[in-house]
Amino acid sequence: MGLMLKKIALALVIIGAINWGSIGIFGFDLVGALFGGQAAIISRVIFTLVGIAGLACIPQLFEQHHN
């Protein structure tokens, strides 16, 4: 996966993590609030992209980094 794609995937994973933290701590779905609720199509697209980004980041757990 290219460096730019890795950065985009990581940014989406961070957005998802912040949203989950917001739900867990405050009971507030930030993505849903910004884009019309959890059932709104744009919210569902964003949730799907975050999920795909999470899957795309899995191989990074197993990468060997050489200095």
Q: pLDDT tens-digit profile of 2-55?
A: 889 999 999 999 999 999 999 999 999 999 999 988 889 999 999 999 999 999
pLDDT for the residue numbered 27: 94
* Residues 32/43, Cβ–Cβ less than 8 Å: yes
pLDDT band at 60 (very low <50, low <70, confident <90, very high): confident
Which sequence spans correspond to the domains of the chain? 3-61
Written as six digits, the tokens of 18 are 């912040």
> How far from 32 is each of 3, 14, 61, CA to CA, in Å?
29, 16, 29
